[in-house]
Structure 1
């Protein structure tokens, strides 16, 4: 494709970018900065990474296109304050392969509430009280075994289990008895759930994942948890029952949020940290028990 086609796409998306260079250059592929190729698009975060040696190597590549926050003399540049986002929006539009919308013959699908252009992979089990929104993708071996609504444009990766009972017990003397879970799971639009993550059904109120929540692989979401919009939940994280994660929060790898704890808006819980008490808005906590490190500035678009 010509660079001019990329610029036209960004214009239709309302992206605030400027361009320097030759708009008739041809782009065939994408690369990282360790593997420079002709006719390729790249991105760079700051000038710190734009060494003189790298720039000279880029100049030797035919029709190199750099997405960056500054102009580089002699190289085609799409200049933006958010190079990573612009770069991957270009890749998603021009290079990603469209997936055929099919329901595998090897899937067990008991519901008829399936939207348009939904893909359900081999080995999935979808219960009869499940509703799946338009353009959602369920990769192989996803199990949904409780009342569950899934919004539009969601992607659920292999091995995810949605709807097992949470770990809730009451005691008669010294003998524990399981608490029967009566509610389900509600998942918003544009939600992604990583491979082998488990999301428990609600006990007396639904477990809720709001729009644009992104959950990494191997996470555990307990019963009655609510995760608000735009949260990032990274690999190995455990969110215990009835916790609440407010919008735009970030839970780092292997972090733990204990039951009934609330993590505030734009807050961050650090790697291997345990939030055992409420975390205020816009702060970073670290350690066990997690303690405050510093204020967090709101992310700019």
Structure 2
């Protein structure tokens, strides 16, 4: 909540966050599209979310699916900062048949012409659509339905911030209908090899940003901190500096998995003879923050064929 209807940037300084009942109360039109069951979780900024909250959210989804046999779907309200990461984690680990749709808002609930209410309503419409089943976790903002694996936040303030750069939307939530145009082909929930319900933690995986003149200090620090995996946000199409490459090669010899991603925001990282010889894995077209999640899950499950994992998911 902000200081007034024109506070579109500084609203977080007040620390006022609506809980799920408060959010739903602002959108009475939800009753026109679904019978909504409010489920309290944590009314905290998405910058504060990570593994503990992801696992708790996963268990809540399990419980709701078991308790409500007639449940059509689940909608998760989420801050936009880390929304794509939560969505991808769920898309890799959910084991329930119902679709899970994540929605957010670029403007606070107190803003003039806020986008939250329509995003929430459309999220419920998508979650209730039988055609959403089997597509993993989905993201719905700005009337657009996106796949969790592919969508990313591309703008700090614009309403059309969530985009799928390489492939585009799965469908759209229009006023007269939910329309679909394509399906993702990569493996996703509930048909995955990842089950984290009995896990207390995920292995540490860090992201190293690549820039002109970067040395190996960050890589060495991550290894010293106990990283089991490192993902690079490399020069397009996935290159790193010579100094970083040397530090990464040393990390591999110590048993640390190294995955090459790109900071470009679009496109695959190709597998080269040199990188293969050094033991580096390629992230395909996953961005660094999502490659980190997939790598952590693979390491947690003892997967050794990481190239296969990044090719399948």
Question: TM-score interval w.r.t. the shorter chain?
Answer: under 0.3
Structure with more contact order per residue of length (Cα contacts < 8 Å, sep ≥ 6): 2
Q: Rg bigger for which structure?
A: 1
Scaled by the length of structure 2, the TM-score of the pair is 0.25
Scaled by the length of structure 1, the TM-score of the pair is 0.26
Q: Which has the higher strand share?
A: 1
